[in-house]
Structure 1
Amino acid sequence: MSDIKFDKSTIPDLSGRVVLITGGTGGIGAEITIELAKRNPARLLFTGRNAKAAETTLGRIRSAAPAAEKAVSFVPCDLASLESVRVAADAILAQCGDDRLDMFLANAGIMAKPAGLSPDGYEVHFATNHLGHALLTQKILPLLERTADLPGGDTDPRAVGWKGGNLDFAGGLRTTQESALLGRWVRYCNSKLANMLYARELGRHHPKLLCFSIHPGVVSTGLVADLKLSDRLFIQMTNFGNIVTPEQGAFNHLWAVSAPYESIEQGGFYEPVGVLSSGKGVKAKDEKYATQLWEYTQKELGRFM
């Protein structure tokens, strides 16, 4: 296991703050949710597909931070289904009302799944890891921006995306992309590239918000445990000595919540823990490519807005 470190005492008190995290029902997401619950948030919402797993997270919060129990709530959401995301976004906004939303951590994701399409007809990794989060982001944007405009200066709204390949905008995103060599890994990496590009474009289009993407490291979670043996061995061999626990995998997210606002680069990509990277490959830094993804995404999501 890799020995990455983070001082949890640097996580600020979240009194008065409202935080939303996707994928809080297990793995890294559960660790982040539980850790932030200890910091007295006014409201902490987490999403996931599995209500039973959500109860496990809530039970751990009752043990670790009993005073936070009433502030924490679970919102069912299947990011692969844009209709499910729309319903979840409405539920989130109903709970927040006209109050505020200070931080959005787009943590949830799938990895190396068999070739398939989402209910809306998109390649399933692209649909879950990118489009679902993009729709949720667009739905909550007005509240994030209103929070940025609150008087008093005690606001620093953040949208934190998970790690960011080639994206085939000419119809390929509506196919299973089965033909690619190491197909399931290529499809996964393409969706992560989309996350990186979209975070940068989001910050460019909405400069009131601090938008950036992070890499949690190679984490031993359910994403890995659920893979077939050959894929698990592939991960072990290509990341020998660098695999981290879910608790360690949460460190970069917790850093993203804790770091001074002015110390984070708009649209940046951060390796564990808090290390600014130039990005992975030429495509991750291609402004034209980022614009193309933004325009494609906005067009595809239009009917759900």
Structure 2
Amino acid sequence: MKYRKIANTDLLLSEVTFGAWAAGGWMWGGTERSEAIAAIRNSYDLGVTSIDTAPIYGQGTSEEIVGEAIKDIPRQQVQILTKYGMRWDLKKGDFGFSSKQNDGKAIDIYKYAGKESIIKECEDSLKRLGTDYIDLYQIHWPDSTTPISESMEAVGRLIDQGKVRYAGVCNYDAGQLAEASKYVNVVTDQVPYSMVKRGIEAELIPYCLENNKSILAYSPLERGLLTGKMKPGHQFADGDHRASVSFFKDENLKRTNNFLDLIKPIADDKGLTIGQLVILWTLQQPGITIALVGARNSEQALANAKAIDSNLTPGEVQTISAHLAALQLIS
């Protein structure tokens, strides 16, 4: 495994960071806790020391799984990234959407990042994770009902108390990131980025490069789309959110797989899977510091980690990008 330093910190994260959304089961058709725990532990054995989770992932389940997985690992040898600002137990802030818990119970999700809520969420996360500090604490989504200053100052207080090491944001645009940075040292922005979702290249990446901020790219495999394993007619499990996402329409699966067939010779030449090749390409893009890659079992997790054993030449990156430029998906 290779590691990269987060800008303006002494925090080293593994280039492939374990994304624990799917491990929590919520919106992924449920979870098998023992498999998820084993996936995290086996990833760690290959050098994946960084784990990204959130309270909303399984309504506490993902954080509990992470806590169980790392309980026998010296705390300083892992980096825990978690979030705040999505409440399923409080009707306050921006209404997000309606959903269901893993047990089928209906819930409403609110984006709320008021000061007292953040303090409570942090305490709850620390208990579930079985730790006394969080390495990177990130607002999950912007909350229009709370001033950014209030949210960031609350995190600043948690940093002063030693419960949080560094502040990050998620899903913030360049303007919101600049505003947040007035009140606390915001070191990262976690945003979606993949071969088929590159909107941040226009404004956010240039801003981060100019202002020395690190970008944590989530869903670089676009929730499985870019693995080559999903074929037209794929049947999703009950509760799997991908069933209604346009990327997974049969025509888009066909077009994406045609593109992946074009770059497969590069993967074959290096003994890589398509997914591993995609991870390497993502990490070669300007401004991208870390790839957050989800896994639900050890097979997926180990494949993600082993991608870093290889590398791409500038010419190979250019060839892949040229094929990618011809890919057109329908909305």
Structure number with greater Rg is: 2
TM-score (normalizing by structure 1): 0.38
Structure number with the higher helix fraction is 1
